[in-house]
Chains A and B, each alone.
Chain A
Amino acid sequence: MKKHLKLILLIVSVTFLQTTTIYANEDVSVSKISYDEIYDPIEPINRAVLNFNFFIDDIAIRPIVKTYKFIAPEPVEKGVSNFFSNLKEPIRTISFIFQGEFYKSFNSIGRFTINSLTSLGTFDLASRVGMEKNETDFGIALAKGGVSSGPYIVIPIIGPSNLRDFSGDVVEYFVDPISNNVPNREYVAVGSGLNERVEIDEQLDKVREASSDRYEMIKSIYYQNRNAQLEEEYIQNLPVPKIYIE
């Protein structure tokens, strides 16, 4: 565990060290977040990893996902998705505490209790009684604490991330009360990962078809989605084109 802790501290400290240099490159004129250029110093490596990920996806993951989507009826797919989402409620609870969002933290643990007791998490009864799901993670907690995103990275098999979010994922892996207390946590991690892949299957198909540069497109979509979780008026603050007479 000590070894793991050292690794976590190293990653987090590198993220913090990046903060000042990265802000220097960011355009803060439109919103707090830059859309012009994403800090991507290891682009050639990232591109190679993305190609590798697509290769693995094509030969192994995509066929499994397509078969699963073909076989599993809609309610089963939804139930599995709810199950894995419910397993993340305890770590969301902790993450909200770090962000000082105590109401949301209470909501998360309430959702976990209700959904686990009524259906092992396969049915989201809590939403029906007004306890809506709030997405968050440790990457968001770090961002709200002022940590900059750091360089963009593509993780083998897992996909797009950045140093801050990846650090958050690593911390989560070790402090998550669920995955730390179940036997064969690897299976849970694989199941959760596959479920996330199922959820983005259609979007990924569209990226394959509609993009001139899928690397840039995926990077941009990743940052836009993360920014949406960070900025209150995200849609309003997105940059728009200057108006020309048509």
Chain B
Amino acid sequence: MRRFLFILSIIFSFSTIEASEVSEWFEKESNQFLEIINNNEGTESESYEKYKYFVNKNFAVKSIAYGLIGESIINESSENELSLYLNVFTDYLITTIYKLANSSNSSSITLRDVDIKDDIYIIKSEISDKKTSANLYWKVIDTGSSFKIIDVIVENTSYFVTKKSEFNKILRKNRGSLKALIKEIQKI
């Protein structure tokens, strides 16, 4: 019984340490993100570069991009096509975040809670400006060397689920052609 409690306490202390690590990471990165949003100095391209750096550093872009098209499309596509898709998707993700951030004046992101399920951290936060606030959830994985975001959920709307349904539709309409999807993404 003692041994069991000992093992249990070790497991619990490990998960607490990891939760505090992910909280620290989140506080640091969310502050950096707010700095980028609220800093209006510099040109548009300089601002875009800051978002690009932020996305590449903190988002599991490849996992998101590949997850959106599914394994059968990945297996059927050539290396070149996949590489082009990944580049186009990365630009698309940066542009989406850049546009959304530019259209809002967020003054704070407050960490509310950290939960873990199936090795994925679910960070609950609240984003608010002077007028309104919204629940913002971040699904984050630990890659060993850093934490990476795999999904962002605003209130109840998941970026991954919403984009997956959009991309699925385009792929179904074009008989699973990744080229067609790339063209559609480039149009936006």
Contacts and interface: CB of A to CB of B under 8 A. Distances in A.
Given A244-B62, A246-B143, A210 B165 contact: no
Interface in B128-155: 131, 137, 139, 141, 143, 148, 150-151, 153, 155
B127 interface: no
B61 A246 contact: yes
B161 A35 contact: yes
B122 interface: yes
Given A224-B162, A236-B115, A206 B103 contact: yes
Interface magnitude class on chain B: 35 or more
Chain B CB count within 10 A is highest, among A217, A236, A241, for A241
A35 B164 contact: yes
Nearest to B167: A212
B76 interface: no
A224 B139 CA distance: 16
B64 interface: yes
Nearest to B130: A74
Interface in A232-246: 234-236, 238-246
A239 B160 contact: yes
Interface in B70-99: 71, 96, 99
A219 B165 contact: yes
Contacts of A213: 166, 169-170
B158 interface: yes
B157 A241 contact: no
A82 interface: no
A234 B161 CA distance: 12
A246 B170 contact: no
B63 A241 contact: yes
A38 B157 contact: no
A243 B60 contact: yes
Contacts of B68: 241
Interface string B39-67: 00000000000000000000011111011
Interface of A: 35-38, 74, 205-206, 209-213, 216-217, 219-221, 224-225, 227-228, 234-236, 238-246
